[in-house]
Amino acid sequence: MKILGTGSALPEKVVCNDDLTLFLDTSDEWISTRTGIRERRVLSEETLLDLANRAAENALENAKVAAEDLDMILVTTAKGEAVTPATACMVQGAIGAHCPAFDLNAACAGFLYALDTADAFIASKKAKTILIVSAEALSRFCDWKDRSTCVLFGDGAGAVVVGEGDGLIGTKLFAQSNEPILYAYGDPGNSPYEREKHPLTPLHMAGQEVYKFAVSHSSRDLLELIERAGKTPDEIDHYLLHQANLRIVEAVRHRLHQPEAKFPHNIERTGNTSSASVPILLDELNRAGKLKTGDLIAMSAFGAGLSTGAALLRWTL
């Protein structure tokens, strides 16, 4: 499998740290020094589906692939536009595709899970060309009165079109059940039969627990993938990490003894956009001409589950 093109879309509305101090006991100083975040984009006039569609269309255009030539659409999202139908089916209709479409939820690691899933469909010859869209609107299920979570997240969508080729070198998926440290529960409904129901609960995170998990598992996944490919960390040109906290990116970078330039970041502008963060970053680098044919790219993401995903690929565009 190889990547044929990338796309992304962010909401128009910019919310900077100082905007949050109008209704939260927080400061630009705390948010920027603890996380690296200076501003984030949040949905206001547009919908999550608008972002997903725009990212999809950008990726198709970049890949020079027509929507009717897609064999499958995968959307990764922690919470799609509706309970049902799948957001992937809505994207299919909007872009004029006719292929099977489904959503996949692996929280912030979703894009890496989708890459691996797409690779499996392509390797088994069940599909040739697949669109992956990672579209997230965490602003919809954060508690905007909880300064420990809502300041961290932003909305956005990133997309790639993948096809047959020899770009993908390896992947690693991992999950370790640990619900209490990162969760959000949706509307429990009003069934008179179900005895125990979780009440509607906005996003809850035990930040330090997740932080430790992220640093140790992201470093472990990357080193394992690189070693499996017979490479060393020095031979990797770009490390694209989930943009959850700049301190996590820096901690992993130090563990791998790599220079800053190899760990690009956009968290200062986007906040944490969950599964969309890696493909948005990839699209920004692609469009800025920062990826050269033959470059080795390592990606890693982590989040609720807990789950992690990593991939090593050669840039073929």
Query: Which residue from 40, 131, 140, 148 is spatially nearest to 88, judged by alpha carbons?
Result: 131
303 forms part of the interface with ligand UT7 (CB under 6 A)? yes
Tell me which of 245, 270, 307, 308 binds ligand UT7, using CB under 6 A: 245
Question: Could you tell me how many residues of this chain bind ligand UT7 (CB under 6 A)?
Answer: 20
Q: Is 99 tagged catalytic?
A: no
Site of tokens 């069940």: 126
246-255 vs 207-228: helix crossing angle, rounded to 10: 40
Q: What is the dihedral of CA 243, 109, 52, 158, to 10 degrees?
A: 50
CB of 167 to ligand UT7, least distance (A): 26
**Residues 17, 58, 89, 108: which is the catalytic one?**
108
**Residues 58, 62, 272, 286: which is the catalytic one?**
272
Distance of alpha carbon 29 from the chain centroid: 26
Tell me which of 9, 56, 203, 244 binds ligand UT7, using CB under 6 A: 244
97 forms part of the interface with ligand UT7 (CB under 6 A)? no
User: Which CB, 248 or 291, lies closer to ligand UT7?
Assistant: 248
Residues 6+ apart with CB under 8 A from 117: 74, 104
What part of residues 178-217 is at the interface with ligand UT7 (CB under 6 A)?
A: 207-208, 210-211, 214
Distance of alpha carbon 146 from the chain centroid: 23
259 preceded by a cis bond (ω within 30 of 0): no
108 forms part of the interface with ligand UT7 (CB under 6 A)? yes
- Interface characters, 254-273, with ligand UT7 (x: CB under 6 A): ------------------x-
293 forms part of the interface with ligand UT7 (CB under 6 A)? no
Residue nearest to ligand UT7 (CB): 207
Tell me which of 33, 44, 47, 148 binds ligand UT7, using CB under 6 A: 148
CB of 307 to ligand UT7, least distance (A): 10
Kindly give the pairing relationship between strand 296-303 and strand 307-314. Answer: antiparallel
Q: Count other Cβ atoms within 10 Å, centred on residue 69.
A: 15
CB of 245 to ligand UT7, least distance (A): 3
Q: Is 286 tagged catalytic?
A: no
What part of residues 24-53 is at the interface with ligand UT7 (CB under 6 A)?
A: 26, 30-31, 34-35
Q: Is 108 tagged catalytic?
A: yes
The residues annotated as belonging to the active site are 108, 242, 272
Query: Which residues of this protein are in contact with ligand UT7, per CB under 6 A?
Result: 26, 30-31, 34-35, 108, 147-148, 151, 207-208, 210-211, 214, 244-245, 248, 272, 274, 303
